[in-house]
Amino acid sequence: MATFSLTVALSWALGILVHWWPQLPAVWRRWLSVAASAAGIAFLVAGTAAEGLRETETTSMVVLGPAYVTATASASASLHYYVLTTVCLLLGFAGLVFGEPLSRWLSQHWILSAVAVAWLITVIRFLLERTASPPLLTQVVGVTWMAPVAGAWFANRLHDEGRALPSALRPLVAYAFLVRGFVVLVGVVATRLQLGTHYDVSSLVQVTLGLAGGVVTFQSGSWPQIFWLTVVPQLLVWPTFTVVAGLAGGAVVWPWLGRRAPLRRPAAPDRVVSSRERS
């Protein structure tokens, strides 16, 4: 229970940081970018000092059924540090070089901003699982627990635009299918190429399907296997969870948002009336 609570808390903290980054003052964004770059260097030093091999099991739960071990990753103990080094240095560089225009664009395109965060996190988790990262790290870097944070972010932007909380439903539905659709794409590639990680279900040839009922046997890497173990849960079960959790996250922060006035868009400049129009 303690590990689960820690995982959720760390995931929410990470989600709040990356979603609200565009709304922070410029000086805070610069300091966070510097901190990300410093963390990248620290991970690089840790990677050079790491020795030996790591082995980590990855598990997956399919269609509300039991959890299965999908793969056992084995990699150099330093590889996951290098993944973190690359991610932190890229984020730090982007924040320092493109901070102001990037923050404006992300604030204006707040749905795409949240989707981009989820896609990036999915890629990072895939790379971390491939490099046999510790389970706590890979579970923190996942899109499942980002749903309430995304809902809170949507509520924040809708409040700033002077709109009501129910307006978050349509953006959340779009967010859910864009995020889970990308997970399906990663799962199809991982399964067809047998790349390992919990996205790769090729090893699950005999499983209990919660929706279909009973034990079903699949050919490894087949399209029926991908359909039942990847497409159905990602495009049916998890979007529903994402929307519900997102609405819950928005409902939690909405009373706090109500304590401050919505941001007002600057009024359009007065149109100059020509002498011909006056006449």
CA distances to 167, 172, 180, 194, 271 from 236, rounded to whole Å, are 22, 14, 9, 24, 51
Contacts of residue 158, Cβ cutoff 8 Å, sequence gap at least 6: 164, 165, 167, 168
Find out whether 48 and 78 touch, Cβ atoms under 8 Å: yes
Where in the chain are the domains? Answer: 2-261
DSSP letter for 187, please. H
Please report the pLDDT score of residue 148 as a whole number: 97
Please report the pLDDT score of residue 200 as a whole number: 92
Find out whether 201 and 228 touch, Cβ atoms under 8 Å: no
Dihedral class, residue 273 (left if φ above 0, else alpha if ψ from -120 to 50, else beta): beta
CA dist., res. 16 & res. 118, Å (int): 12
Please report the pLDDT score of residue 279 as a whole number: 37
CA dist., res. 14 & res. 139, Å (int): 12
Ordered per-residue pLDDT tens for the chain, 279 residues: 458 889 999 999 999 999 999 999 999 999 999 999 999 999 999 999 998 888 887 777 665 556 667 777 788 889 999 999 999 999 999 999 998 999 999 999 999 999 999 999 999 999 999 999 998 899 899 899 999 999 999 999 999 999 999 999 999 999 999 999 999 999 999 999 999 899 999 988 888 766 556 788 899 999 999 998 999 999 999 999 999 999 999 999 999 987 766 655 443 443 444 444 443
- At 124, the amino acid letter reads I
- The two tokens of residue 87 are 């991610």
